[in-house]
């Protein structure tokens, strides 16, 4: 499970789609419930402005799909 948590705004479930046409080299893309791509740039903006974080048991997969380095601040293991 991948949860985007924004303090004072709640949470949104995200997923990784490995078959999306914008997926590169099988890394996948992170998508929201409407099927829209959620990018690493969007995450960093939300983290820096609103204190958002991502909680997941698939940290490495999420980082790869977002195009951010492993250990990116705000992406935490919830297992």
Radius of gyration over every alpha carbon of the chain, rounded to an integer in angstroms? 12
Bigger pLDDT: 79 vs 52? 52
Cα separations in angstroms, 61 against 8, 27, 56, 69, 77: 27, 8, 10, 11, 11
26 has a pLDDT exceeding 80: no
Bigger pLDDT: 73 vs 24? 73
d(CA 77, CA 60) in angstroms, rounded, equals 10
pTM of the model: 0.90
């Amino acid at each position: 499970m991948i949860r985007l948590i924004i303090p004072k705004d709640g949470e949104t479930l995200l997923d990784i789609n490995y078959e999306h046409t914008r997926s590169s080299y099988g890394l996948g893309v992170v998508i929201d419930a409407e099927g829209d791509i959620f990018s690493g740039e969007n995450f960093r903006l939300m983290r820096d402005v609103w204190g958002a974080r991502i909680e997941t048991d698939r940290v490495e997969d999420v980082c790869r799909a977002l195009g951010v380095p492993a250990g990116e601040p705000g992406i935490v293991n919830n297992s």
